[in-house]
C-alpha cells in the first residue's frame, strides 16, 4: 500500500529526509516517531504528493507519488497537525466542499458526514460554524475530512493531540477499526503510549533518516537489550554471594536490598534454575517478574543518543 525506497528531500542546502525506506501493508498501522524537525512532516508531504522527492521513489496504493500525483491524492486521507478548517463554514458545508473535491455526490457526503459526526459525538454540531467548535471538535472534523471519502491510505499527524481522554479513546478506536478494515495507516505522533497501543510497527526518524524500525517488541529488544527480570526475596541480600551463585547462568545487572535484576536470553529455562539456586542459598522467593520497558524508554534512548552526538 505504501512503499518508499531510498526516499529523500533536499531544500537548497538542507537535507530534510534521506535514504528513507518504508513499507506499510493494507491493514497495518505504522507509527512514525521522532523529535521535532526530524523529517516526519516532510515524509508525509512526499507521500501525499505535495512535495516532490529529490531522491528515491515512493508509491501509494500502487501509484507513483511523482508521476501519478492525482491518483495518489485521491487514495489518501490526510490529517494535518493543525486541522486548518474554514471557520466561517458550518461542519456539513465543510464536508460538502471536501467531498465534492473527491467527486462524491452531495447525498453520499451527507450520509457519510452525518454518520461520522454521530460517531464522534457531534451529531448536533454539524450546522454550527466551525469557528464555534472547540479545539478537540476541530481536530475531529479534520479527521472526519480525512476519512470522508473512505481512502485506502490514511496519513494522520497527531490525531488526538487536542482531545480530552474520552474523545481520544473514541478516535483511537476508530483508527483501529480503519486498520482492521484493511487500510494502511501512517500515524505521526509524540504520544508514545498511543503509538504503542495502536501501532503494528514503529519507525523512529532522526535527522531525516530512519534509525530504528520494527514491532514495539522488536524495538525494545533492539534498543534496550534482552528483557530484564527482577526477583524479590524475603531476606536482606549480600550482593557478592548471590552474584557468585548466579554466575554462568544469567547476567546480573543490579542487586538491591532484597531484589536482584538480571537478563537472560532464555527465561523459560533459566528462571526455574535461578529460583532453585537462590533457594539453595536459603532465600525465599517473594516474586519474579519482567521489568516493564516502555516504548518511551526506546524513544528516549534514541533521543539521548542524538543529544550525546550533539
Partner 1 sequence: MAQLTFKPFLKPLRLGRDDWRMAAVVARREIKDSFRDWRIMTPIILLTVFFPALMNFAAGRMMSFVSNYGAQIIATQLIPFLLLVVGFFPMSFSLIIALETFVGEKERKSLEPLLATPLTDYQLYLGKMIAVLVPPLLAAYLGMAVYLTGLYVNLGWTPSLQLLGQTLLLTTVQGVIMVAAAVVISSQTTSVRAANLLASFIIVPMALLIQGEAAALFWGNHVGLWWLILALAITAVVLIRMGLHLFKREELMGRDLDEVRLGWILAEFWAVLSGRRENNGRYPNPFRWYRQTLALIPQLRHPAATLTLALLGALGMGVVLAFIYRLPPEMLAQFTGESISANLDQLQIVARGLPLAIFFQNVRVLLLLALLGTFTFGVLGILVFMLPWVIVGFAAGQIFLAGESPLLFLAATILPHAIFELPAILLAAAAALRWHLTVIAPPPDRTLSEAFMATSAEFARVFLGLSLPLLLLAAFVEAYVTPQVLRAAYSG
- The binding site for partner 1 (CB under 8 A) comprises 11-13, 45, 48-52, 70-71, 73-74, 76, 78, 80, 82-86, 88-89, 97-98, 100-103, 142, 145
Cβ neighbours of 107 (radius 10 Å): 8
Q: Closer to partner 1 by CB, 147 or 204: give it.
A: 147
CB of residue 195 to partner 1, shortest distance in Å: 22
Q: What is residue 34's DSSP assignment?
A: -
| Residue 25 Cβ vs partner 1, minimum distance, rounded to whole Å | 22
Find the shortest distance in angstroms from Cβ 102 to partner 1.
Answer: 6
| N residues, the chain | 310
Q: Which is closer to partner 1, CB of 69 or CB of 281?
A: 69
CB of 210 to partner 1, least distance (A): 22
**How far is 142 from 213, CA to CA, in rounded Å?**
28
**Contact yes or no for 91/84 (Cβ under 8 A):** no
Q: Which is nearer to partner 1, 98 or 262 (CB)?
A: 98
CB atoms within 10 A of CB 163: 22
The strand pairing partners of 15, in sequence order, are 10
Q: Quick one: 142 or 216, whose CB is closer to partner 1? A: 142
Q: What is the DSSP code (8-state) at residue 57?
A: E
Minimum distance from CB of 101 to partner 1 (Å)?
4
For the bound state, the minimum distance from the C-beta of residue 193 to partner 1, rounded and expressed in Å, comes to 26
Q: What is the DSSP letter of 130?
A: G
Residue placing its CB nearer to partner 1 in the complex, 76 or 122: 76
- Cβ neighbours of residue 214 closer than 8 Å, sequence gap 6 or more: 201, 202, 222
* CB closer to partner 1 out of 145 and 220: 145
Cα distances (Å, whole numbers) of residue 287 to 257, 258, 299: 14, 11, 29
Cβ at position 84, least distance to partner 1 in Å:
4
Shortest separation between residue 72's beta carbon and partner 1, angstroms: 9
Comparing CB distances to partner 1, the nearer of 10 and 232 is 10
**Residue 39, burial from CB neighbour count under 10 angstroms (0-12, 13-18, 19+):** buried
Tell me how far apart the alpha carbons of residues 222 and 293 are, in angstroms, rounded to a whole number. 12
Nearer to partner 1, 94 or 262 (CB): 94
Rounded to the nearest 10 degrees, what angle do helices 106-119 and 91-101 cross at?
130
For 40, the 3-state DSSP assignment is helix
Amino acid at each position: 500500500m505504501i512503499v518508499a525506497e531510498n526516499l529523500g528531500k533536499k531544500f537548497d542546502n538542507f537535507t530534510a529526509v534521506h535514504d528513507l525506506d518504508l513499507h506499510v501493508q493494507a491493514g497495518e498501522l505504522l507509527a512514525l516517531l521522532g523529535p521535532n524537525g526530524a523529517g516526519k512532516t516532510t515524509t508525509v508531504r512526499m507521500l501525499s504528493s505535495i512535495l516532490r522527492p529529490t531522491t528515491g521513489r515512493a508509491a501509494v496504493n500502487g501509484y507513483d507519488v511523482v508521476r501519478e500525483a492525482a491518483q495518489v491524492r485521491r487514495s489518501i486521507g490526510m490529517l494535518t497537525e493543525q486541522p486548518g478548517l474554514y471557520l466561517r463554514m458550518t461542519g456539513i458545508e465543510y464536508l460538502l466542499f471536501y467531498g465534492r473535491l473527491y467527486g462524491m455526490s452531495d447525498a453520499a457526503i451527507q450520509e457519510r458526514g452525518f454518520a461520522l459526526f454521530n460517531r464522534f459525538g457531534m451529531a448536533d454540531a454539524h450546522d454550527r460554524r466551525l469557528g464555534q467548535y472547540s479545539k478537540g471538535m476541530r481536530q475531529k472534523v479534520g479527521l472526519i475530512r480525512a476519512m470522508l471519502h473512505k481512502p485506502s491510505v490514511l496519513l494522520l499527524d497527531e490525531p488526538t493531540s487536542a482531545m480530552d481522554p474520552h474523545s481520544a479513546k473514541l478516535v483511537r478506536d476508530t483508527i483501529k477499526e480503519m486498520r482492521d478494515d484493511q487500510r494502511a495507516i501512517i500515524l505521526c505522533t509524540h504520544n508514545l503510549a498511543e503509538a504503542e497501543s495502536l501501532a503494528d510497527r514503529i519507525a523512529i526518524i532522526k535527522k531525516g533518516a530512519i534509525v530504528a524500525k520494527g514491532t514495539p517488541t522488536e524495538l525494545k529488544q533492539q534498543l534496550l537489550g534482552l528483557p530484564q527480570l527482577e526477583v524479590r526475596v524475603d531476606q536482606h541480600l549480600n550482593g557478592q554471594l548471590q552474584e557468585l551463585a548466579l554466575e554462568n547462568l544469567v547476567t546480573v545487572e543490579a542487586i538491591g536490598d532484597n531484589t536482584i535484576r538480571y537478563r537472560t536470553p532464555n527465561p523459560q529455562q533459566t528462571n526455574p534454575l535461578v529460583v532453585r539456586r537462590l533457594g539453595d542459598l536459603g532465600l525465599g522467593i517473594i516474586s519474579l517478574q519482567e521489568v516493564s520497558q516502555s516504548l518511551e524508554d526506546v524513544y528516549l534512548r534514541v533521543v539521548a543518543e542524538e543529544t550525546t552526538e550533539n
